[in-house]
Structure 1
Amino acid sequence: MDRTMTRTPCSQRARSSMKIHHLNTGTMCPMGRRLVNGTGGLFQRARMVCHCLLVETGDGLALVDTGIGLGDIAAPDRLGRRWLRQTAPRLDPSETALEQVKALGYSPADVRHVLLTHLDRDHAGGVPDFPHAAIHVHRAEYDMAVQSRPAPPEGRYVTGQWSHGPSWTFYGEAGEDWFGFKGVRALGDKEADILMIPLAGHTLGHCGIAVRSGDTWLLHAGDSYFHHGQLAASPRMPLVLGYFQRRADMDRTQRIANQARLRALKLAHGDRVRIVNSHDPVDYENCRCGTH
């Protein structure tokens, strides 16, 4: 199904006050900390995270991305031996979204919505852990990853992460504007302050998820950028991390253009919009400490 959104412009909607929990749902420890994180030694292990959001809404809980799931930990080979070797994930069950939801005192059934920036293995692994939730994804992402229209790059997606047949909700290109971004769609009339924002490039259906709480927005930009330095006025990027990013691009031109738009958004509206990505531990820790 396709969601529609109300006619009220995104920037003028009534302010909500939703509590947002920041979860690391998968720590990865590749070699070469200086070349991945930009600090430390060449032979130290780097640290990357799977930064997800758990949002308390008027319609239950909404999870933004799921990280690595229990099924991935039970059968890690499905993640791909090359990916496991390159990223060196901890595969700790206590880091899964499911276990963290329970640790916060909720039932997994309280998670009514899962909003995915895209369907890569380290973002959609926990989908089977929430079988009763509606899974929100951009139509172009679903078409490629699930329907193979067009066929994805070989080995890009782990189809076992949705082989149980989840309840999909699709978003297309039509929508409203949000700080100059086009095609923005809301979660629904009940939650008009949770928005899906097309940010193609990393994948063809890649999106950011924006959540409004009080006077500010938090934009989870997924894999639109990998390192906080990329959104600085003078962009910088560790060498190996930049290589990983380029290798993962499905449309590099779009990814670079959207990254530039995110940088401009931060420079122009950083007091109103906080931007985070999926894997940078600096973004994650700043949010956890309330300093981002």
Structure 2
Amino acid sequence: MRIHHLNCGSLRKIPPLREDSPACAAHAGDHEPAAVPAVCHCLLIETDSDGLVLVDTGLGTADLQHPDRSLGADWVAYAQPALDPGESALRQVVRLGYAPQDVRHIVLTHLHRDHTGGLPDFPHARVHVHPDEYRAVTDPTAAHHRHSLDLFMPAHRAHSPLLVPARVEERMEWFGFSGVARPQGPACELLLVPLPGHSAGHAGVAVRDGDGRWLLHAGDAYMYHGELEHTPPLPHPVFEPVQQGAQTDAAARVATRDRLRALRRDHPDEVTVFSAHDPWEFARLAAFTGCGCR
């Protein structure tokens, strides 16, 4: 099994914080450290028996061709996507020598537009979500149903994706997290770990790599590494209003962040935690795996 870190959509540029990068500040002189684009951090997993598994999909080819129509004009104006076709998951899969049909499973942290844009590019794939997120968009009586359905963009679901709720493992905990669900189909060790607060059924995607170490794609449970690595937590002023504007439960989001801080502190040799949009986390992980994908 091989895991690739992909940036499937560069967004507006984010300045690094001097408090977070003292070495950078010391060498910068009188110049501000360079801002870098936020990312849509996805994983592409090459498996032995299940083809390719894509974790989140970033922005898709239709989003890049018709961004206002597909993503919403207000979101495009704020997020400032680069709209580079080469960053789509579809192009990157092909660049690695695969066919789009080789992506047999897609596992989503949640159903917001910057995570679901690539779904129409892989219409044959089974799309796995945590059952709480599935319920929020399919059950009219569920809490947050209308809000969740409004944020699952019509352009991303017009092809009627094969949305499948993962199966909750009732007696299973993952490093103390309960309500863990297992996508049905992929044989690789892959779990959906509830990380509530951002969306109705927001979950991290945990996958065990070939060395036995867990990677946890934490989606939008946090957006800047300073929230986990600094004490007290250091949010980023560009990301913070995005977090607060999108959250369904502020207290749950903060509690989730604190649980991830503890996970990172207590299990540094067993779990690597990263978020969906932090460009510095992406750069570290892409360089570590030697992945040349964008």
TM-score with structure 2 length normalisation? 0.85
In the TM superposition, what is the alpha-carbon distance from 1:174 to its structure 2 partner? 4.9
**Distance change in 2, residues 1:84/1:42 (3 Å):** farther
In the TM superposition, what is the alpha-carbon distance from 1:172 to its structure 2 partner? 5.7
Aligned residues: 274
Q: Distance in 2 between matches of 1:245 and 1:42?
A: 25
Q: Deviations over 1:156-210 (max 9, x none)?
A: 3312201111112103655310110111122347525111111111101111111
Alignment partner of 1:246 out of 244, 247, 254: 244
Q: Distance in 2 between matches of 1:157 and 1:190?
A: 24
Q: Does 1:72 align with 2:72?
A: no
In the TM superposition, what is the alpha-carbon distance from 1:44 to its structure 2 partner? 7.1
Alignment partner of 2:189 out of 177, 187, 193: 193
For 1:134, the equivalent position in structure 2 comes to 126
TM-score with structure 1 length normalisation? 0.86
Q: Distance in 1 between matches of 2:264 and 2:212?
A: 16
For 1:103, the equivalent position in structure 2 comes to 95
**Distance change in 2, residues 1:36/1:144 (3 Å):** farther
In the TM superposition, what is the alpha-carbon distance from 1:119 to its structure 2 partner? 0.6
For 1:59, the equivalent position in structure 2 comes to 50
For 1:29, the equivalent position in structure 2 comes to 12
Alignment partner of 2:180 out of 167, 177, 184: 184
- Which one-letter code corresponds to 1:216 in the other structure? R
Alignment partner of 1:276 out of 274, 277, 291: 274
For 2:157, the equivalent position in structure 1 comes to 162
Q: Distance in 2 between matches of 1:37 and 1:212?
A: 33
- Which one-letter code corresponds to 1:285 in the other structure? A
RMSD over aligned CA atoms reads 2.6
For 1:202, the equivalent position in structure 2 comes to 198
Do the aligned partners of 1:94 and 1:100 also contact (CA within 8 Å) in 2?
Answer: yes
In the TM superposition, what is the alpha-carbon distance from 1:59 to its structure 2 partner? 1.0
In the TM superposition, what is the alpha-carbon distance from 1:137 to its structure 2 partner? 1.0
Q: Deviations over 1:81-137 (max 9, x none)?
A: 111111100111110000000000011111110000001000000001001110001
Q: Distance in 1 between matches of 2:19 and 2:37?
A: 7
In the TM superposition, what is the alpha-carbon distance from 1:221 to its structure 2 partner? 0.5
Do the aligned partners of 1:266 and 1:274 also contact (CA within 8 Å) in 2?
Answer: yes
**Distance change in 2, residues 1:192/1:98 (3 Å):** closer
Do the aligned partners of 2:166 and 2:183 also contact (CA within 8 Å) in 1?
Answer: no
Structure 2: state its 5+ residue gaps: 26-30, 290-294
Structure 1: state its 5+ residue gaps: 1-17
- Which one-letter code corresponds to 1:23 in the other structure? L
Q: Distance in 1 between matches of 2:50 and 2:33?
A: 47
Alignment partner of 2:224 out of 218, 224, 227: 227
Q: Percent identity?
A: 43
